[in-house]
Amino acid sequence: MFVDSHCHLDRLSDQTHGGDIAATLGAARAAHVSQFLAVSVTLEDMPQLAAIARAHHDVAISAGLHPLYSVEHEPSVADIKEAAEQYGAVAIGETGLDYHYRDSVPVEIQHERFRRHLIAAQELGLPVIIHTREAKEETLALLREYSDPRVGGVLHCFTEDLAMAREAVRLGFYISLSGIITFRNAASLRDLAGQLPLDRLLIETDSPYLAPVPYRGKPNEPAWVVEVAECIATQRGISVDEVAMQTAANFYQLFRAAAPDAPEHVKQGLANAGLL
């Protein structure tokens, strides 16, 4: 089984199974993708995300406000916590820092927003989903200050360097790789996929964005997380089954609140490994 640890099911393209979430999830399940984490971009999405999770037992959700999303009122720590609790989120995010597009949301605002998410996550004991781009030192500094290594989180859609990944792992974080690792110009990310410990890796689509090779240019969908796993398997010289099983175990280890809904054979495997 495969887990898509990061997708935006509420933002599907009309070109993906006519924009039909059930059909999109059906296609993914047919490709043996059996768990999805639908990630929040703004707290206003929460009712819709919760409705998707209620309708699909294999969809878990997070609560957070993306660093690049403009809002009139910044959510407080209490607002973030309340949304997570009210809607049954298994994680806080996505949050973080994106200095590549610093013009859309100023750096100081991103910084404060990120800090409030980290505090909310710490107070709830929930893992954080981090979006980080061109803000290496600033991201790590905030994680050092505010994250709990026993709870941790994930650096999603990772595109930074091996040194940053290693430091994040040391702080108790997982590294999630997306379809970007299949891109022709992503040799250094493929190297990183071969070098990080397999028990700290997750896989994701970030759909509808970032479709992997050979689907580039199309709107992405969760079924294609398999391409990410295959790329990692090739890079490490191991089977795609091993990548699938280990990244699934990693997922439930990190997002423990999603684990009770894990398929029975996965729960058994995790229990045997002492992970549940």
Residues that bind Zn ion (CB under 5 A): 131, 206
Residue closer to Zn ion, measured from CB, 113 or 131: 131
CB-closest chain residue to Zn ion:
131
Instruction: Provide, rounded to whole angstroms, the least separation between the CB of residue 66 and Zn ion.
Output: 7
Nearer to Zn ion, 116 or 156 (CB): 156
We find the least distance from the C-beta atom of residue 108 to Zn ion, in angstroms, to be: 20
Our CB check for Zn ion shows the closer of 65 and 243 to be 65
Residue number with CB closer to Zn ion (94 or 266): 94
User: Cβ closer to Zn ion: 66 or 200?
Assistant: 66
Residue owning tokens 């997570």:
84
Q: For the sheet containing 173-177, what is the strand order? A: 2-7, 33-38, 59-63, 91-98, 128-133, 153-156, 173-177, 201-203
Q: Minimal distance in Å, beta carbon 273 to Zn ion?
A: 29
Smallest distance from the beta carbon of 67 to Zn ion, in angstroms? Answer: 8
In whole angstroms, the minimum distance from the beta carbon of 126 to Zn ion comes to: 17
Nearer to Zn ion, 147 or 178 (CB): 178
Least spacing, CB of residue 206 vs Zn ion, in Å: 5
